[in-house]
C-alpha cells in the first residue's frame, strides 16, 4: 500500500535512511538522522504543499518512501522540485521504488509542478535505470563534488517534464 507519510512514520523512515547514510554514497549526509529530525523534515515538505509518500506491506511495515522538495528557494523555481526515493535494504527488486515514484510524479503533475529533478550519486545503475524508465533524461553531471567513505563522488542530474 502507498499512502501519505505521517509523523508516526518518522522512526521507520529514519531507520531506512540511516542505512544509506552509514553504508553508501547515495546520500552525502554523514551523521545519522534522528526520529525527531525526520519528523521535522516530513513536516517541512508537507508545509510546502508537496507530497511525501510511504510504501508499506500488508502488516503495516514501512518498506520505503518518496518525496518532493523545493528545487531552490528563489520564487522563479516554484514549479521545479527535486524528487527522492529510498527503500528498505530488504525491499529492493519488488517494484516498490517505481510504484512510489509513479504515484509521486502523478501527484506533482496534479499539483501543477512543471519539472522534477533527480540527483544521483554515481555510479548507481539501479537508480539511473529507474529514473530513465520513468521518462527522466540526464541533463548534467558534476565531477567529484562529494567526498564520502574515502572517495570522491560525482553527481548526475536527471529531469522529467511533468
H/E stretch holding 50 reads none
pLDDT of residue 93: 86
What proportions of the chain, in percent to the nearest 5, are helix, strand and coil?
Answer: 35, 35, 30
CATH 3.20.20.80 applies to domain 2-161: no
pLDDT band, residue 22 (cuts 50/70/90): very high
Query: For the segment 59-116, what is each residue's pLDDT rounded down to a tens digit?
Result: 999 999 999 999 998 999 999 999 999 999 999 888 999 999 999 999 999 999 999 9
Q: Are 16 and 27 in contact (CB under 8 A)?
A: no
Sorted by where each begins, the domain ranges of the chain are 2-161
**Distance in angstroms (rounded) separating the CA atoms of residues 122 and 6:** 31
**Predicted TM-score of the model (pTM):** 0.94
Amino acid at each position: 500500500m502507498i499512502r501519505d507519510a505521517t509523523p508516526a512514520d518518522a522512526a521507520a523512515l529514519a531507520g531506512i535512511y540511516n542505512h544509506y547514510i552509514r553504508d553508501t554514497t547515495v546520500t552525502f549526509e554523514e551523521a545519522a538522522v534522528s526520529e525527531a529530525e525526520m519528523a521535522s523534515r516530513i513536516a517541512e515538505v508537507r508545509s510546502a504543499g508537496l507530497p511525501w509518500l510511504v510504501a508499506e506491506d500488508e502488516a503495516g511495515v514501512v518498506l520505503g518512501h518518496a518525496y518532493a522538495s523545493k528545487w531552490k528557494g528563489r520564487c522563479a523555481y516554484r514549479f521545479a522540485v527535486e524528487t527522492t526515493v529510498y527503500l528498505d535494504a530488504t525491499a529492493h527488486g519488488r517494484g516498490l521504488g517505481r510504484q512510489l515514484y509513479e504515484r509521486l510524479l502523478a501527484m506533482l503533475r496534479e499539483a501543477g509542478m512543471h519539472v522534477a529533478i533527480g540527483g544521483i550519486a554515481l555510479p548507481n545503475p539501479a537508480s539511473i535505470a529507474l529514473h530513465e524508465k520513468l521518462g527522466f533524461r540526464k541533463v548534467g553531471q558534476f565531477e567529484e563534488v562529494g567526498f564520502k567513505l574515502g572517495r570522491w563522488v560525482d553527481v548526475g542530474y536527471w529531469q522529467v517534464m511533468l
